[in-house]
Structure 1
Amino acid sequence: MLAPTKTARQQGVPLYETIYVVLREHIEAGRLPNGLVVGQAGVARAFQASRVPAAAALQRLRDEGLLSDHDGRGYLVGQGDPLRMELEEAGLDLGAVLDDRQQRNRHEWIYPEVEHAVASCLAHGRFLLNESALAEHYKVSRTVAHEVLTRLERTGIVVQESNQRWYAGPLTPDGIRHHFEMRWLLEPEALRQAFPRLRREDLLSRRQHLVAGLEAVVAPVKIERLEHDLHYRTLAHCENPLLLATIRRSQLPLLATHWTFEHFQDPGEISHLVADHLAVFDQLIDGRLDTAAATLEHHLRRSVDHNIELWRRLGGLPDHLRQDYLVAAS
């Protein structure tokens, strides 16, 4: 049995990261046949997930050269004639992952995906989270679904109202502005605390991701990854967990909006985003912490008006973000 690494089994790791690690290990070990066509739907079925984390994992594998594009509708493993079959039939072994899943609380497994789905809908209005539908969607008990919703309430992106129902949103222009204000006040300090623990090789790797972003059309999944590289993974080395938790509450509704704003992104604004991030990483690599913190604050301040303008152009929730447990509410 091919046992996934500790990274793949770590609690709190986003679901797309687990999918990415497991598929990468199978591909590198030659466990999947050359020519195998891998698509979002098949990966989602195999991992009992939605297409959002499946798409993120596949895009990352493609970016790293472990998969190649196939006919605009999927990806190929290695070289060879296209071969279509279910991943389990092709050799995917999820035994260790599923064993670990059974040993943990079920809500820990599904929470990252639900969190992302809910955060992505906030800019589109107010939504009711149906607890029974959530339980049915993931084939879990109502108790597990309730635990997920309670944890979401602690992050501030859902509330349980007096009718005992759970609601999320709406994210308004004032809300966007307030979240960004919290971030530009707190993230530079978190960066200062994280700096002594940052590894040069990690900074160089994240810088390379940005350079690649300057050379190609940047898909929403890649934009979100670039945002996570700086605002989440880099700041995660901050020694103050309360500071990080506060930052996370204001990041969550905003970092997920790149899927929401997929059809409204301005290429020029994306270039600015990449350039700002690149400047921060260059300054960190050079040891210029004060300049890096100031650049980070400027980047966050400058992002407010752009995000509000994108919000004003949104319509209803697009189909690829729609979940059966999220119901539009008045």
Structure 2
Amino acid sequence: MKASPQAATAAEAFEKTSMQRDAFLLLKDMIEQGRIRPGEKLLEVQVAKAFGISRSPARHALRALCEAKIVRPLEGRGYQVAGRPKAEHVGQIASLGELRIAPLPQWERVYKKVEQELWIRVLFGSLRITEAALAEYFNVSRTVARDVLARMHSVGMVGKDGLGHWIAPHVSADKIRELFEMRAILEPEALVRAAPLAPAAEIERMHAELRRAISNGPVEIGPVGQLETDLHINLLDHCPNREIVKALQRTHILFVPSLYLLDSSLSVPQGTMHDALEEHLAIIEQLRRDNVRKAASSLREHLGSAATRWLERFEIFSKAERSPLPPYLSPFKDTGATPPPVPAAAAHRR
């Protein structure tokens, strides 16, 4: 099968985006773990060589770290790792070794991109997904496209109508309210069970990152998305009751990771974002004091406020100009003859 120029360009762009994201996350983890130290220097060509990627994704990964205030640009070239450096580390080029970023399997690369589109688009209406167009767009076989849709079907993200068409159902404002109600019931209990199993270092890292985000002035959407993920997904994943964790996975569309939700043009009031971070900080501080029940109570209150903020964001987002649908997606209007599939609201895969 020969891909169209548009599809080939899209596939190439996605490959670059995937490598950029992987490089960003790998560098971020190395900095957080202390393998790359404050004051040390990172160079574009060095990152590209160490990770086995081209300079373009290396450049964008370093810029993303800069936007997240994890590194800062140096005069001339390169970036310096933020924090309080020791004198001997200042200006020293960080040691990365060779940590090759392996390309994702075809189905997984396509899955992540389609997932990104659907998590955003279903907020505005139901969609039909055309298998053949999806395969052509990403320059993959129909078998790969079918595998992607089957995997999405297995977690309830898409379903089929009476004619056998793949459908991603609308996530309405009412659905958002229901998902927040579900979170308010389950998340506090999940936190109570997860807290004794969460490493102290993880709690301390979250505390430090929250304090840094609050004190750094204007809050960016990207770091907020990561902090949301840290508390509501990563921390609660320590809950030993996996049925609670699986149930909560149905709610994860409410805080799409910042690297998925490309909404830099979305104007979210700064006050609401600072309020959210202050509430997160209150929860984490209670955990640091081993006041787990108090932390759970604070989490429940936070979710009540978060529901209001999310619906405000939904209103802003609904009025924003949206880009055209990719050719494998088209609007779907249910005629009422066949009940639409019941969504799992873009369940978080593990």
TM-score past 0.5 threshold: yes
Alignment partner, residue 119 of structure 2:
119
For the aligned residue pairs, the C-alpha RMSD in angstroms reads 3.8
Alignment partner, residue 306 of structure 1:
309
CA gap 1:58/1:133 in 2 versus in 1, 3 angstroms: farther
Kindly indicate which of the two structures has a greater share of residues assigned to helix. Answer: 1
CA gap 1:308/1:96 in 2 versus in 1, 3 angstroms: closer
Alignment partner, residue 200 of structure 1:
200
Alignment partner, residue 224 of structure 1:
225
Q: Following superposition of structure 1 onto structure 2, how do residues 38-49 of structure 1 map, counting pairs within 5 Å?
A: none
CA gap 1:69/1:240 in 2 versus in 1, 3 angstroms: farther
3-state DSSP class of the match of 2:278? helix
Q: Following superposition of structure 1 onto structure 2, how do residues 129-168 of structure 1 map, counting pairs within 5 Å?
A: 129-168=129-168
Structure 1 distance, partners of 2:194, 2:311, is: 29
Alignment partner, residue 236 of structure 1:
237
Identity across the alignment (%) = 24
Query: Is 1:33 paired with 2:45?
Result: yes
3-state DSSP class of the match of 2:319? coil
CA gap 1:151/1:35 in 2 versus in 1, 3 angstroms: closer
3-state DSSP class of the match of 2:120? helix
Q: Judge conservation of contact 1:180–1:304 (CA < 8 Å) in 2.
A: yes
Q: Judge conservation of contact 2:188–2:299 (CA < 8 Å) in 1.
A: yes
Q: Judge conservation of contact 2:19–2:57 (CA < 8 Å) in 1.
A: no
The alpha carbon displacement at 1:159 in A equals: 2.3
Structure 1 distance, partners of 2:47, 2:112, is: 31
Q: Following superposition of structure 1 onto structure 2, how do residues 224-303 of structure 1 map, counting pairs within 5 Å?
A: 224-255=225-256, 259=262, 263-303=266-306
TM-score, normalised on structure 1?
Answer: 0.71
Alignment partner, residue 68 of structure 1:
73
Task: Output the amino acid matched with 2:22.
Answer: T
CA gap 1:230/1:301 in 2 versus in 1, 3 angstroms: same
The alpha carbon displacement at 1:69 in A equals: 8.8
CA gap 1:325/1:212 in 2 versus in 1, 3 angstroms: farther
Query: Is 1:171 paired with 2:171?
Result: yes
Q: Give unpaired runs (5+ residues) of structure 1.
A: 1-13, 37-41, 48-53, 71-75, 80-92
Query: Is 1:20 paired with 2:32?
Result: no
Q: Judge conservation of contact 1:177–1:304 (CA < 8 Å) in 2.
A: yes
3-state DSSP class of the match of 2:167? strand
Structure 1 distance, partners of 2:270, 2:117, is: 25
The alpha carbon displacement at 1:33 in A equals: 3.0
Task: Output the amino acid matched with 1:20.
Answer: F
Query: Is 1:128 paired with 2:132?
Result: no
The alpha carbon displacement at 1:30 in A equals: 6.4
Structure 1 range deviating more: 272-281 or 213-222:
213-222
Q: 316, 322, 332: which one pairs with 1:318?
A: 322
Q: Find the structure with the greater CA-based Rg.
A: 2
The alpha carbon displacement at 1:220 in A equals: 2.1
CA gap 1:309/1:283 in 2 versus in 1, 3 angstroms: same
TM-score, normalised on structure 2?
Answer: 0.68
The alpha carbon displacement at 1:181 in A equals: 0.8
Structure 1 distance, partners of 2:194, 2:47, is: 43
Alignment partner, residue 210 of structure 1:
210
The alpha carbon displacement at 1:152 in A equals: 2.1
Q: Judge conservation of contact 2:24–2:64 (CA < 8 Å) in 1.
A: no
3-state DSSP class of the match of 1:296? helix
Q: Judge conservation of contact 2:132–2:142 (CA < 8 Å) in 1.
A: yes
Structure 1 distance, partners of 2:156, 2:63, is: 30
CA gap 1:32/1:271 in 2 versus in 1, 3 angstroms: closer
3-state DSSP class of the match of 1:167? strand
Alignment partner, residue 97 of structure 1:
102
CA gap 1:245/1:323 in 2 versus in 1, 3 angstroms: farther
Alignment partner, residue 183 of structure 1:
183
Structure 1 distance, partners of 2:264, 2:69, is: 25
CA gap 1:35/1:192 in 2 versus in 1, 3 angstroms: closer
Alignment partner, residue 95 of structure 2:
none
Alignment partner, residue 78 of structure 2:
77
Q: Judge conservation of contact 1:35–1:78 (CA < 8 Å) in 2.
A: no
Alignment: residue pair count: 284
The alpha carbon displacement at 1:286 in A equals: 0.9
CA gap 1:116/1:209 in 2 versus in 1, 3 angstroms: farther
